[in-house]
Amino acid sequence: MSAVISRTADPLVGDIVVPGDKSVSHRSLMLGSVAVGETQVDGLLEGEDVLATAAALRALGATISRHVSGQWTVIGRGVGGLSEPAQVLDMGNSGTAVRLLMGLVSTQRFATTFTGDASLNSRPMERIMEPLRQMGARFTSRSGGRLPITVEGSEMILPISYELPMASAQVKSAVLLAGLNAPGKTTVIEPQPTRDHSERMLRHFGAEVVSQDQAGGGKKITLTGQPELTGRSITVPADISSAAFPMAAALMVPGSELVLRNVGINPLRAGLITTLQEMGGRISFENKRGEDGEPLADLRVQASPLHGITVPADRAPSMIDEYPVLAVVAARAQGTTHMPGLAELRVKESDRLAAMARGLAACGVDVEETEDSLTVHGNPKQILGGATIAAELDHRIAMAFSVLGMVSKTPVTIDDGAPIATSFPGYVELMNGVGARIEVG
């Protein structure tokens, strides 16, 4: 895909299903690969990030295949049963994949080398390596703890109790996955609750995982190591992080009403919905239910008059990937929206805090950026648009500004739409099918 041009949209009306949840998709393949027997996965996200995970796990010895029906099958090797890959594992743009896989292989007795694209190779990995070193793993990396990185598993695997210095589901998950092959109990203490897909899915496969509330609002998660995981059937819910883009667009484009089916509404992921409702967004839940430990629902979203709010900083872990599109919604809201506690956005696929501030300003939006916050002064009557936005190899930046173009006076151009395929294959076609006017090329 080349440049993407987004123009003022017609009312967005329809009944849609966005792709499967990326976080659940990654974990279903990883845990299926270290389970005994066969795991069947329906609704797997077939974006580039998840396909990179599948390729890496095949190189590590798992058997992974896609059927004509769209169902995926994983034949696992059991806990501790992965094998040394014959080649470097290229994880493309996926920070989640490389960080979780580093945990999974760090307690296996062989060496694994990871690399990625220019964006991934610039991202810091020291926060993952620090606890894994305590468990016995050794690392060779570029300066600053950057990829390519070689992980050497230890002969002497140690369970640890590790207190996270920051709220990070990726670090937590890496330690828990490493703990699968360690004797005894591995414990992670997090300062704030983060998405708990790993804990839910570990239990689904048969692991003993205990979560305890901590004073101050954090969580203590303890995994009993060396379980025998058993292959399971998994239905992947639609990704709330992908649903965020049509949801935001429907709230802003006059006359819109969309129904988004089968969306995962895990309470540790649903902070954006709460925030948009506080801003006046009309979002209702229909047909609430559960699948394999993950709650989901159909979302009905209607165009709404929106107003600015201050988003609590402690909500950030439950919506960290959704701040780019929230900033776009804030640009269309009446008044000021203040978003503190966003330092984590600087170490995503791009420096998302800086990228959003630059792009919004270029489109005529009054925005203020600090080291860990973004403040947007909205204008519900008119956004100028007209800018060309550098996507910076970041799918969420590209999609966020495509949404801005739907409510701008003049078209918004994104210089490179290719990164969108990492998480939302078919995005342009789906959005145009309900009333957007997005052109490629």
Q: Which of 239, 321, 415, 416 is catalytic?
A: 321
Hey, how many other C-beta atoms are within 10 angstroms of the C-beta on 144? 10
Cα separation of 236 and 23, whole Å? Answer: 9
User: Could you give the dihedral angle defined by the CA atoms of residues 306, 312, 315 and 320, in that order, rounded to the nearest 10 degrees?
Assistant: 70
CA 77 to chain centre: 26
CB-based contact 258:250 (threshold 8 Å)? yes
Annotation marks residue 366 as catalytic = no
Cα separation of 261 and 18, whole Å? Answer: 8
Please identify every residue annotated as catalytic: 321
